[in-house]
Structures are given as structure tokens and as C-alpha cells.
Amino acid sequence: MKRSALAGLFITAAMLASPVFAAEDLCAINLQKISDAKVSTGEMPEDLKNTIDKAESEAKAAQAAGNKDECISLTTQAIQEIANNNKGGK
């Protein structure tokens, strides 16, 4: 009985802590996706390229400052803009 209660507490604690790690990883994952997309995406309009570069540098600064939410927001927007460009629209 004690083992199952202890195991349940451990699993609960691990599940509650996981979103913190996921947010940190999402920032890094999104930055990698942007980097990969810049290399693999064919022709990109100059204004979009400048917007993506700016968002990437701001996201890296936010990541370095420990502002994960801002990093995730900036990178998610940049990834969406890249996806819209690849679809042929905005």
C-alpha cells in the first residue's frame, strides 16, 4: 500500500513539473525549426526574411533573459509566417 501511494505521489509530481520543462524545450525547438526552415525554404521575399531574422534574434534575446513565454510567442509567429509563405499566401 505504501509503495503504490508513494509511486502515485511521484508520478503526480513528475506530471506537474513537466510543463515547465516543455515550455523551455518548446522555445529551443521552435528556434531550431526556424533555423531549419530558413535553410530548406526556397525563395523567400526579402521583407519576410527580414521579419523572420528580427523575430529570431528577439526570441534568442528573450530566451537568454529567461523569458520563455515571449520566446515561444515570437517563434510561433515566425513559424506561422514561414508556413503561410510556403502555402503561397499571407
pLDDT at 71: 95
**Do 51 and 38 meet the contact criterion of CB atoms below 8 Å apart?**
no
The pLDDT tens digits for 2-57 are 555 545 545 555 555 545 555 558 999 999 999 998 888 777 889 999 999 999 99
The pLDDT tens digits for 31-44 are 999 999 888 877 78
Q: Where are the domains of the chain?
A: 19-87
Q: What are the strands, taking DSSP E only, across the chain?
A: none
Whole-angstrom Cα distance, residue 84 to residue 47? 14
**Do 49 and 85 meet the contact criterion of CB atoms below 8 Å apart?**
no
What pTM, to 2 d.p., does this model score? 0.70
